Structure 1
Amino acid sequence: MKLCVYTVSLGGYDRLLEQPVANASEADFICFTDDPDLTSETWEIVHVTPRFPQDLHRSSRVFKILGDERLAPYDVTICVDASVELRATPERIAADWLTPEVDLALAPHSFREKVIDEFDEVVRLKYDDPARVYEQLNDYALSYPEVLGAQPHWGGFLVRRNTPAVADAMRLWFDQVLRYSRRDQLSLMMPLTVTGLRWRAVDVDNFESEYHRWPVIGERKVALGKARSQPYGPMLAELRRNERRIRELEAEVARLSAEPVQELRETIDHFSRELAASTEVNRQLEARVMSVQREVWERDVMLREADSIAGSAKTLRRNVVRRIRSTLQRR
């Protein structure tokens, strides 16, 4: 079995770790990097050009997920993050992890229960643009709800056979990373859930096991793992649209002669006069309405006073009649 361990180091995000177990192994150790000055005692340094120069995170996923043509001769590859230190030889890892009936093996996430929890954590830690993360979450909720409810798995330690089934699943995984969030653990379970790939979860702790230790960090450039501080959006395209609009307006102004401009001014004056006349008419109508309302109010007051006087007269008349009757009865 031809075996290779490989890692990716672009932009100097992590200082490259030496792998002492390489001295006890027949496997090849390859580091894909864009650093022309990087050297190592245990890794074979392979210089590459990032596919997306302004997106080193996705550029590194090209190698992590899809691999490279230099890996084609190998029967099994072990991809580890640059901050993973191996404690067991690649031969033992491949024998223990890749049982005959599976083509891929990886570890479950040690401290996340469901994939949907990983979405929330990526937004909280500002690892990617929330709009992109929530779009992926919404799309998965509609198309792959079973993925969101699945237990997440750790992508920092992948053991894979070189088979067409693995290649197809990895292509689907990388498509998700290109279309949605660059955080590959959000989409890792999608190809593992919806394809027929034969895979296995190896129950080891993500941080430390008999096979590895993680993270072993030195001189990490944390900012490279965060989302950009400025808002995402096609700012250059917007600037270009504004430049074209300015030129259109300048050309339109240049085409205008004095006569059309004067006509426009006369039209504006005409509408201004009509507006002023309309305003005066409105003012007169409002004054008339107020006058009528006051007249109605005054008449209403007079009617209420008349009703009050009539009521008082009626009461007085009843009292007079009552007194006259009382006087006659006493006689």
Structure 2
Amino acid sequence: SHHHFLLGNLFVFFQSHGDCMLFSLYYTVSETLSFTSLKISQIGSYSKKNVCFIMFLDELTLTTLSSEGHIPDENGSIGLWRIVVVKNLPYKDMRRAGKVPKLLAHRLFPSALYSIWLDSKLRLHADPMLIIEYFLWRKKAEYAISVHYDRTCVWEEVLQNKRLNKYNHTAIDEQFYFYQSDGLVKFNASGHDPVLPSYVPEGSFIVRAHTPMSNLFSCLWFNEVNRFTSRDQLSFAYTYLKLRRMNAGRNFQLNMFKDCERRAVAKLFHHRANGTTDPPPKNLRTDKNHSSMPS
């Protein structure tokens, strides 16, 4: 029987495009994909009328969707989504390839004004215009990402990645030791005026304006993913702290919001396997004080 193995993530972005906003999504997956993951609920009439929806797929995903009856129409669209097939991806490791649209939207679409990243296991439950307004405009922020639902320290994240065999242990150690040698210390929530509410983000949902500092941070974060492991949660705090240290006179408006706010607009669901819904991993905590969101 076939099993699900995600090759990439959903990517959503806004771009000024005449009188409409371009709203695009990047998705790659092997074997089987439940098309329900691509539906977006609660999109307002304004967005439906004025937003152009673009979906980037690899050939395998398009073949899978077509075999399940989701065939592009004469305009190359499936429902709201205009389909664009991507080829010649830069990495064989699709976890790393997925970081290109996740972190480098401003390089792929240089005229873009805003972008929203949505992980492939999440379904959007809010109008994208409201998301931009709430997470960026209302907070006067240029980059918004939630804290992790359970962990705040990179030391904890390293142990969890190794415990779950998320990546080669030697590669994780090499990255972690380098960060320590370059000044990374343990997160201390009780410290004087902490720089961040957490050193570990939940990277499944990112909202950003394509400002110079936001673009610089995204490029620096991608550089870490490129030279070390693809586990971007390991490099987030190091990248942010180094950006602040190297650009002391330039302010970067980061909104690191609560995980419950993320869960209010992006719901978790599990990919289908042989016509059923995958149960949550057994290791996930399900008590009242913790979300069931995976790392």
TM category, shorter: 0.5 to 0.7
SS of aligned partner of 1:134: helix
Choose the corresponding residue for 2:26, options 2, 5, 8. 8
Task: Say yes or no: does 1:202 pair with 2:257.
Answer: yes
1:58, 1:177 within 8 Å by CA — same for their partners in 2?
yes
Scaled by the length of structure 1, what TM-score is found? 0.59
Distance 1:42 1:116, change over 3 A: farther
Q: 1:20 aligned to 2:35?
A: no
Deviation at 1:63, TM superposition (A): 1.0
Aligned partners of 1:57 and 1:145: how far apart in 2? 25
**Sequence identity percentage:** 22
Q: Is the 8 A contact 1:18 1:43 kept in 2?
A: no
Q: Which moved more, 1:195-204 or 1:4-13?
A: 4-13
Segments of 5+ residues of structure 1 without an aligned counterpart are 223-331
- Number of the residue aligned with 2:171: 132
* RCO higher in structure (CA 8 A, sep ≥6): 2
Number of equivalences: 220
Q: Which residue of 1 aligns with 2:6?
A: none
For residues 212 and 62 of structure 1, the distance between their equivalents in structure 2, rounded to whole angstroms, comes to 21
In structure 2, the CA distance between the partners of 1:193 and 1:181, relative to structure 1 (3 Å rule), is same
Shift in CA distance, 161/182, structure 1 to aligned 2, threshold 3 Å: same
Q: Which has the larger radius of gyration?
A: 1
- Going from structure 1 to structure 2, the CA distance change for 1:200 and 1:179 (only over 3 Å counts) comes to same
In structure 2, relative to structure 1, the CA distance for the partners of 1:23 and 1:69 (3 Å cut) is farther
Query: What is the aligned counterpart of 2:229 among 159, 181, 186?
Result: 181
1:154 is paired with a residue whose SS is strand
2:167 is aligned with what amino acid?
D
* AA matched with 2:204: G
After superposition, the CA RMSD in angstroms is 2.8
Return the alpha-carbon distance in structure 1 between the equivalents of residues 261 and 176 of structure 2: 25
| Among 131, 135, 142, the residue aligned to 1:93 | 131
Deviation at 1:188, TM superposition (A): 1.9
- In 2, the alpha carbon distance for the partners of 1:214 and 1:4 equals 25
The correspondence of residues 71-90 of structure 1 with structure 2, limited to 5 A, is: 71-90=109-128
The alpha carbon displacement at 1:85 in A equals 0.8
Unaligned runs of 5+ residues in structure 2 are 1-14, 66-71, 73-77, 189-197, 245-251, 279-295
Task: Please state whether the residue corresponding to 2:101 is helix, strand or coil.
Answer: helix
- Which amino acid is 1:32 matched to? F
Name the counterpart of 1:32. 56
Once residues 206 and 173 of structure 1 are traced to their aligned partners in structure 2, the CA distance between those partners, rounded to angstroms, is 23
Closer/same/farther in 2, CA of residues 54 and 172 from structure 1, 3 Å limit: same
1:218 partnered with 2:242: no
Whole-Å separation in 2 of the counterparts to 1:80 and 1:6: 11
Distance across 1 between alignment mates of 2:273 and 2:186: 35
Match of 1:45 among 69, 83, 104: 83
Going by fraction, where is strand more abundant, 1 or 2?
2
